[in-house]
Chain A
Amino acid sequence: MGKPKFYDFCVHAAPDGENTVGEMASLARHFGYSGFALTNHSDKLPKTRPLLPEADGFEVFRGIELVEENPSKLHGMIGKFRSNVDVLIVHGGSEAVNRAAVENPRVDILNHPSFDRSSGLNQVLAKAAAENGVAIGLNLRPLLHSRGSRRIRLLSDLGANLDLARKYDVSLALTSDAMSCFDLRAPREMLALAEVCGLEESEALEALSTVPERILAKNRPGPGIIREGVEVLEEEDFF
């Protein structure tokens, strides 16, 4: 097995975050990532489609984080943006939105689902997430920027979601949710933090490497694939 490739699938750049895509990309590349997804919140999108920087062995993927309170409008937005982006994240935070997100197989990741006194997931939602292939996002930014009782709350929510995810086999996506250059962390540090927060080594590695690759493979089918289960093979590929 070669060296794993690391991807950070939730990064915000200007005008949503603070730094430009170029700055974020150059730092992420320096840290050893193979790519990240630019997922600005849907209520703070730039007027024009941003030009994504490219470099050898580093790619910035097009993504979006949908912010919408109304479930039926959310489904509409998913339909509208799905074909344009590689990574589609839903910004959770209420029972209705969480449910809408995990029940829609076109969603890739559900971010910060927790609200009031709940970790945001329960047995029913976790099962639906596993069936529809929706990953649960573990975001580092809130963990880094809080101390004491708030961080304890976040960690206990994370623990509860982790238990559910293990039981129902839901995938987890480890992301930085960076709003500026100073929120990015190198892959090894992300893994160490995740492990201190209760993930196993293999789970953390999967959440930062395998799960993003799987999401990409799902949304960027090869040239011959028409739809799920239907693929045109070249002649020499038959045998």
Chain B
Amino acid sequence: MKRLMPSLRAKKRYLPFELISEEPASRSDLVREIMASAASLLGDVTASECDIKVLGFEEGKGIIHCSHIKVKETRAAMAALTRINGKRATLHVLGSSGTVKRATEKFLANYEPFEPKAENVQE
């Protein structure tokens, strides 16, 4: 099958993110909570326009893709997430990119997810 030309494909933005949470979460729980949060904050209509998909998620970091005109709404929906499986959690969007490759190279390679410790700041 011939691939669709890049100019004809739906435009996407890839948002690399890290998860800061009380307990590690599984991908399926994360997907469920993000969709619930988007539907609650934006409504089903706008949430469907955002076209949110969790591409990959492991060890507290991952990539979400969304429609290129709905980055703001997607970020807001990700920020509105407060709990995963009843455990408190926060998503931190690291940036936004037009390709998976660039999103991975620039933001996720060598990136260590944040641990809430007071070490980085001197008391």
Contact = CB atoms under 8 A, between A and B. Distances in A.
Interface in B3-29: 20-22
B25 to A, nearest CB: 13
Given A147-B40, A180-B88, A181-B20, A189 B75 contact: yes
Nearest to A190: B79
A115 interface: no
B88 to A, nearest CB: 4
Interface string B80-118: 101000001110110000000000000000000010111
Nearest to B114: A30
A29 B118 CA distance: 11
Given A23-B116, A147-B40, A51 B123 contact: yes
Nearest to A195: B72
A6 to B, nearest CB: 14
A150 to B, nearest CB: 11
Which of B40, B90, B93 has the most chain A CB atoms closer than 10 A to its own CB?
Answer: B90
Contacts of B118: 20, 22-23, 25-26, 53
Nearest to B119: A26
A41 to B, nearest CB: 21
A184 B119 CA distance: 18
Contacts of B41: 196
How many interface residues does chain A have, given as a range?
A: 20 to 34
B63 interface: no
A227 interface: no
A54 interface: yes
Given A25-B121, A189-B76, A148 B40 contact: yes
B33 interface: no
B116 A27 contact: yes
Interface string B29-43: 000000000001110
A53 B121 contact: yes
Interface string B52-94: 0000000000000000000011011011101000001110110
A192 B72 contact: yes
B122 A19 contact: no
Contacts of B72: 192, 195-196
A189 B40 contact: no
A185 interface: yes
A163 B90 CA distance: 31
Nearest to B95: A188
Contacts of A190: 79
A49 interface: no
Which of B22, B119, B121, B122 has the most chain A CB atoms closer than 10 A to its own CB?
Answer: B121
A168 interface: no
Nearest to B88: A182
Given A148-B40, A185-B79, A196 B114 contact: no
Given A23-B117, A182-B89, 6 more contacts: A25-B118, A182-B88, A184-B90, A189-B92, A193-B75, A196-B73
The 4 closest A-B pairs by CB, nearest first: A22-B118, A189-B79, A192-B75, A196-B76
